[in-house]
Amino acid sequence: MTADDPLPRWIARRAPRVRRVGSVCTGAFALAQAGLLAGRSVTTHWAWCEAFAKQFPDVALDGDPIFVRDDNVYTSAGVTAGMDLSLALVEEDYGPSIALRIARELVLYLRRPGTQSQFSAPLTAQLSERAPIRELQVWLSVNWHTPIRIDAMAARAGMSARHFARVFAREAGYTPARYLDRLRVNGACFRLSESAHGLDRIASECGYGSADVMRQAFLRVMRVNPEDYRARFRPIAAPPRIKANARR
């Protein structure tokens, strides 16, 4: 966006006439150029935080939150974080019950726990350009819930364990153990939010030796424990059905 771009000027003119202003992802650049973010706490997509901080040193940038509200100005991280922000605005205007029903209808979280650093493993892991690692990643995406040893991964990739660990971390962006951890935590998140099964059963279904091991993985990846995650995303009960022929 250039200095003479008309969009920031349009935003600056319109902002005083509206109840609140918000941005999604790199839209924060436009708000900053419009002069709306000076001295405010804001966020933007993590990949653009360094460039944003250099261009707008007078803005209190925090690259970790999913979204930030500072008075009537809202900024969010990536594109999907704009959905989180939209649900938050619905909750402000119409209450948590309506927002939660919309979130469940759209298969979204009403409030994701934590920060931008807590991404879904399949979304954040780099898909390797090397065929053996890429094929292993695909295999792991299907078999993550089974017992898997690092040396077994190395054998499947046709490498020694030490060489495999170095190559995998370079290609995928995570060590093999951390990559598998994130896949399992991602699967456990779904089970915690969609079932009433106990932690021991969910841990076993997700390849963990115990609920304590799963809890440690949650704290590493999600920065919350499984109990807190389930409390936030517990399914709501469906409203009772009314029979058409019910007697009055």
DSSP secondary structure, 81-95, as one string? HHHHHHHHHHHHHH-
What pLDDT was estimated at residue 79? 85
Q: What is the CATH number of domain 121-233?
A: 1.10.10.60
Q: How confident is the model at residue 228 (pLDDT cuts 50, 70, 90)?
A: confident
DSSP state of 124: H
In the chain, the percentage of residues whose pLDDT exceeds 70 is 84
The CATH class given to the 6-105 domain equals alpha beta
Give the pLDDT score at 247: 38
What was the pLDDT predicted at 208?
93
pLDDT confidence tier of residue 176, bands split at 50, 70 and 90: very high
Distances (CA, A) of 91 to 45, 98, 134, 246: 23, 7, 41, 34
How big is the CA angle at 35 (ends 30 and 37), to the nearest 5 degrees? 80
Helix and strand totals (H; E) in the chain: 13, 5
Six-digit token pair at 39?
A: 């001295």
Give the DSSP letter of residue 48. Answer: G
Q: What are the pLDDT digits (tens) for 109-132? A: 656 655 554 443 343 455 677 889
**Secondary structure class of 218 (helix, strand, coil):** helix
Q: Are strands 60-61 and 21-23 parallel, antiparallel or unpaired?
A: unpaired
17-21, 43-47, 242-246: segment of lowest average pLDDT: 242-246
| Residue spans in the chain of domains classed CATH 3.40.50.880 | 6-105
Q: Read off the amino acid at residue 22.
A: G
- Give pLDDT, residue 239: 40
Sheet with 21-23: strands ordered across: 21-23, 73-76, 67-70
> What's the pLDDT at 107?
67
Rounded-to-integer distance, Cα 120 and Cα 124, Å: 6
pLDDT of 236 over the 70 cut:
no
Which tokens is 175 given? 């060590």
Q: Give the pLDDT score at 238.
A: 41
Q: CATH 1.10.10.60: which residues of the chain?
A: 121-233
Highest mean pLDDT among 2-6, 75-79, 239-243: 75-79
Categorise residue 71: left if φ over 0, alpha if ψ from -120 to 50, beta otherwise. left
CA distance 148 to 166: 18
| pTM > 0.85 | no
Buried b (16+ CB within 10 A) or exposed e, 223-243: ebbbeebbeebeeeeeeeeee
**pLDDT over 90 (residue 21):** yes
Q: Residue 98: pLDDT band by 50, 70, 90 thresholds?
A: confident
Give the pLDDT of residue 201.
94
Q: Is the pLDDT of residue 26 over 60?
A: yes
Please state, for a pLDDT cut of 90, what percent of the chain lies above it. 50
Query: What contacts 24+ positions apart, CB below 8 Å, involve 63-66?
Result: 63/116, 64/115, 64/116, 64/117, 65/115, 65/116, 66/112, 66/114, 66/115, 66/116
The mean pLDDT of 158-179, rounded to a whole number, is 93
By CB atoms closer than 10 A (0-12, 13-18, 19+), residue 162 is exposed
Stretch 73-97: mean pLDDT: 89
pLDDT value at residue 66: 85
Q: What is the mean pLDDT of the chain?
A: 84
